[in-house]
Amino acid sequence: MVTKSLYGFILLMVGLMLYSCQPFPKEVKRGMYYWKSNEPSLSQEELGLLQELSVEKLYVKFFEVEPDPVFSAKPISKTRLRPPALNLEVIPTVFIHNEALKDIEAAEIDSLASNIHFLCTKYYHQLFSKISPSFSEIQLDCDWTPTTKDAYFQLIRSLKQQSGKRISCTLRLYPYKYQDQMGVPPVDRVTLMCYSLTNPLAEEAVNSIQDNERLEAYLRPARKYPIPVDIALPLFSWALWYQNNQFAGILRTDLDAFRGILEPIQPMWYQIQEDTMVGASFLRRGDKVKLEEVSQKETLQTLELLKKYVHFNPTSTITLFHLDVQSTNHADTEMLDQYFTAFQQ
């Protein structure tokens, strides 16, 4: 019996080695996103997690850009975070609503790039200078479409030219796969987002945060993206709350706080057993929730798929989304550590 198992294991390993022909990164930088807007400081737990995981790069959402009739585009949800001195690099990250690029005139793109650079620099010096006196990279996050592609790419070029910084951007799986249609952004690096592949409300039986089957469909066949690829993995959970079978909201909270009042009705789906307040939401008995959680086992499988299909440069960054002790759901730091070392195994 033992011999048979061992034989099977060896066969599997040999198979994997033969199949895993993509170059792995020799060095993995450890990154984390910080996406909250209203918090003035990192909590002790968040600081502890950064330290325990030896995070080297913190991508902080500085603000979002949305369309505006007077200013063409304006920043909202601005960061207030003022962290203490930390041994890591802060990368100002800007989320750009695709609508902000829809009707923007060519002449206004340079102005927008200038504004983004101005505000990133201002906030960095105001809030993050304890960490280091300057920054060398700006990351843009945008779900661009074919109609906004030109404006977005022009914005990237303009931002790079005006700031003189390294520019990176996030990359959804769709533009990763369909480069002809979606173009290749003129950035220095892309961060491939390996989560949230579907609309959370679209499919009852699918975990919209983590779905390796769909992920593999996007990654296959193995290829080399024209620009160095980093990756982002999910580190959050949420509950989709339904009253009378109507979607009532997303509960971004510590799911353990109300797990005790849930009765399972089908995979991922639960019924509320007693009236309960979760944050500001009043959950009534009989309401349903869909718990979409990130499984550590599945995340390791995600990493295996990435190893299998993605061509990495010698140095890559793995970034976890996102630093928030409530939604990280008491993640086991030893297990999280494995995400960063998986490519070396």
Partner 1 sequence: MACGPYYPYGEDVRFSLLDPSLFELNGYEAFIYSANGIPGYEPEAQQLGRAENIELWYQWAECKASKEDIEKAVYQFDEYPDLNEQNNSFLAYLSSKKAARAYLKFAQECSPFNRSLQDPWEREEEDVDSRRQKRIDTAIKRMGEVQDLALKRRYAFLAIRLAYYQGRADLVSSVWNQLFKGQQTKDILYHWSLYFKTELDPIDAQRNLQAAQVFVNAPDKRFKVRLSFDTNVPTDMVMELVENDQDRAAVWLIEGVGKQGKNLDALKEIYRLAPDHPGLEFLLLREVNKLEDWIYTPYYTEFYPAMYPEDRPYPDNTSLMYQRLQGDRAYAKEVLAWVSSVKAKKRPQPLLWQMSKASLLHMTESPAKALKVIKRIEKKGGDDPGVIHWVQQMKALCLIAADKATPASLPAPIRYKLIADQSGFSTQFLFALARTLEFKGNTTDAAVFLSLVNGENAWEEGAVFWKTKQRHQTLYADFYGDYFYYLDAQYTPEQLVAFLEEIEAAKHFQAPFKQWQYDQIKEDLPRLYDLVGTKFLRRDQLEKALFYYEKVPVGFWKEYPFSDYLDRNPFYTNLYNETGYTAADTVIYTKPEIIRLLLAYKKNAADSQEPQQDYYHFLVANCYLNMSYHGNAWLMRRYYWTIANNGKTMLEDDDEYLNATKAKEYYLKAKEVTKSEAFAALCLRMAGRCENYALRNKIIDKEGFYYVNWNQKQEQLLNSNTAYAQLKKEFPQHYDELISNCYSFERYFATYDQE
x-or-dash pattern for partner 1, window 182-221, by CB under 8 A? ----------------------------------------
Residues 115-174 that bind partner 1 (CB under 8 A): 115, 118-119, 122
Confirm or reject binding of residue 260 to partner 1 (CB under 8 A). no
Beta strand pairing status for 137-141 and 166-171?
parallel
Tokens representing residue 126 in the block: 């105001």
Judged by beta carbon, residue 56 or residue 66, the one nearer partner 1 is 66
x-or-dash pattern for partner 1, window 54-83, by CB under 8 A? --------------xxxx--xxx-------
Confirm or reject binding of residue 276 to partner 1 (CB under 8 A). no
Judged by beta carbon, residue 281 or residue 338, the one nearer partner 1 is 281
Q: CA nearest 298: which of 287, 290, 306? A: 306
User: Which of these segments, 97-105, 113-121, 264-272, 334-342, binds partner 1 (CB under 8 A)?
Assistant: 113-121
Measure Cα distances from 184 to 45, 149, 163 in Å.
Answer: 38, 9, 21
Residue 272: what are its φ and ψ, rounded to 5°?
-75, 130
Contacts of 102 (CB under 8 A, 6+ apart): 67, 147, 148, 151
Judged by beta carbon, residue 163 or residue 299, the one nearer partner 1 is 163
How far is Cα 338 from Cα 345, in angstroms, rounded to an integer?
9
Confirm or reject binding of residue 257 to partner 1 (CB under 8 A). no
Number of residues that bind partner 1 (CB under 8 A): 13
Confirm or reject binding of residue 16 to partner 1 (CB under 8 A). no
How far is Cα 342 from Cα 303, in angstroms, rounded to an integer?
7
Beta strand pairing status for 57-68 and 72-76?
antiparallel
- List residues near partner 1 by CB under 8 A: 68-71, 74-76, 115, 118-119, 122, 277, 280
